[in-house]
C-alpha cells in the first residue's frame, strides 16, 4: 500500500477584491502554525502580476523561478522552488515565479494535474503538515480552480466594511456553492473580516447568516504593526486572534483521523 503524507491545504482568497490583507495574514499564520504544530509549514505564493507580499513578508526574494513556472511546464524539479523564511526556517516558501497572466497558455485540466503533482512532491520532500496557498485578486482560472478545489479550508479574507457583504455573496454564488452543492466537496469555509474598527460597521452580524460553511466568522482589528521585524512580531497579530489557528489545528486533527480510518 502506498503511504500518503498527511497534510491540510488552506487557501486565502478574496475574489476580485485586492488589498484586504490576506497575504500578510497568510504569512503571519504560516509562522504561527509552524510554531504551534512544531512542524514545517509550506506557503505557496500564487501572486501573479502582484507585489508577492506573502513571499516578501517572510523574507524571501520572489524574483526567481516559482509555482507558476512549474504549472506551465517551464521547469519540472519542484524542490528548486523552495526557499526558507528568514524569520523562521521551518516555514518554506514557494514564490509565484516569473510568469505573467498573458503567458498562461495552459487550460484548467493541465494546470490541475501539475498543481496536484507540485503539492504532493513538495509535501513529500519537506514533511510539511500544513500547506497555505495565497491566491491573488482576480486570479486566472488555471490558477484559481486547482487551488480552491484541492483545499480543505478556504479562508475568505475581506475588509470589515459594508461593501464586503456583496463581494462575499458573489464569491459564495460563483465558487463556494457549486463546490459544496454540485460537486459535493466537504470544505471548511471561514470568513475573515480584516482591519476592523469597532463600532463602525455591523457587517459581522449579517455575514454570520450563511457564508461561513462548516467554519466561522473572524474579525481582526486594525493593527499598528503591518510589517514584521522578527518572527515574534510576525505572529503576534494572529496569536491574539487565536480562533483561526484553532480552526486550522482542528481541521488538521480531523484530517489525520480520516486518513487513519481509511487505513
Q: Please report the sign of the dihedral spanned by the C-alpha atoms of residue 179, residue 132, residue 114, residue 65.
A: positive
Structure confidence by residue, pLDDT tens digits, 64-82: 999 999 999 999 999 999 9
- Give the distance from CA 187 to its chain's centroid: 14
d(CA 136, CA 1): 38
Structure confidence by residue, pLDDT tens digits, 99-142: 888 888 899 999 999 999 999 999 999 999 999 999 999 999 99
As a whole number of angstroms, the longest Cα–Cα distance in the chain is: 56
**pLDDT band for position 247 (cuts 50, 70, 90):** low
Nearest-Å Rg of the Cα atoms of the chain is: 17
Within 39-107, where are the H helices? 53-57, 67-71
Is residue 182 over pLDDT 90? Answer: no
Is residue 263 over pLDDT 70? Answer: no
Percent of the chain with pLDDT over 70: 80
Structural domain boundaries in the chain: 8-262
| Distance between first and last Cα of the chain | 10
CB atoms within 10 A of CB 148: 20
The pTM of this model reads 0.85
Q: Poorest-confidence range of 24-33, 98-107, 207-216?
A: 207-216
pLDDT of residue 260: 41
Eight-state DSSP code of residue 136: P
Q: What's the CATH fold of domain 8-262?
A: Rossmann fold (3.40.50)
Is residue 238 over pLDDT 60? Answer: no
Amino acid at each position: 500500500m502506498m503511504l500518503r503524507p498527511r497534510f491540510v491545504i488552506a487557501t486565502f482568497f478574496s475574489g476580485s477584491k485586492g488589498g484586504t490583507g490576506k497575504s500578510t495574514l497568510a504569512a503571519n499564520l504560516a509562522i504561527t502554525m509552524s510554531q504551534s504544530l512544531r512542524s514545517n509549514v509550506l506557503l505557496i505564493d500564487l501572486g501573479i502580476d502582484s507585489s508577492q507580499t506573502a513571499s516578501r513578508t517572510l523574507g524571501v526574494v520572489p524574483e526567481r523561478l516559482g509555482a507558476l513556472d512549474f504549472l506551465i511546464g517551464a521547469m519540472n524539479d519542484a524542490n528548486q522552488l523552495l526557499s526558507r523564511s528568514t524569520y523562521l526556517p521551518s516555514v518554506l516558501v514557494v514564490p509565484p515565479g516569473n510568469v505573467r497572466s498573458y503567458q498562461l497558455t495552459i487550460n484548467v485540466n493541465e494546470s490541475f494535474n501539475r498543481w496536484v503533482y507540485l503539492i504532493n512532491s513538495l509535501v513529500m520532500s519537506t514533511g510539511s503538515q500544513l500547506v497555505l496557498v495565497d491566491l491573488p485578486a482576480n486570479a486566472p482560472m488555471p490558477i484559481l480552480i486547482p487551488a480552491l478545489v484541492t483545499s480543505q479550508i478556504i479562508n475568505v479574507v475581506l475588509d470589515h466594511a459594508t461593501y464586503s457583504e456583496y463581494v462575499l455573496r458573489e464569491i459564495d454564488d460563483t465558487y463556494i456553492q457549486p463546490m459544496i452543492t454540485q460537486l459535493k466537496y466537504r470544505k471548511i469555509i471561514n470568513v475573515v473580516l480584516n482591519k476592523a474598527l469597532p463600532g463602525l460597521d455591523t457587517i459581522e452580524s449579517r455575514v454570520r447568516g450563511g457564508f461561513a460553511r462548516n467554519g466561522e466568522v473572524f474579525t481582526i482589528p486594525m493593527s499598528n504593526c503591518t510589517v514584521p521585524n522578527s518572527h515574534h512580531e510576525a505572529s503576534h497579530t494572529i496569536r491574539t486572534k487565536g480562533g483561526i489557528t484553532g480552526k486550522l489545528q482542528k481541521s488538521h486533527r480531523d484530517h489525520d483521523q480520516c486518513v487513519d480510518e481509511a487505513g
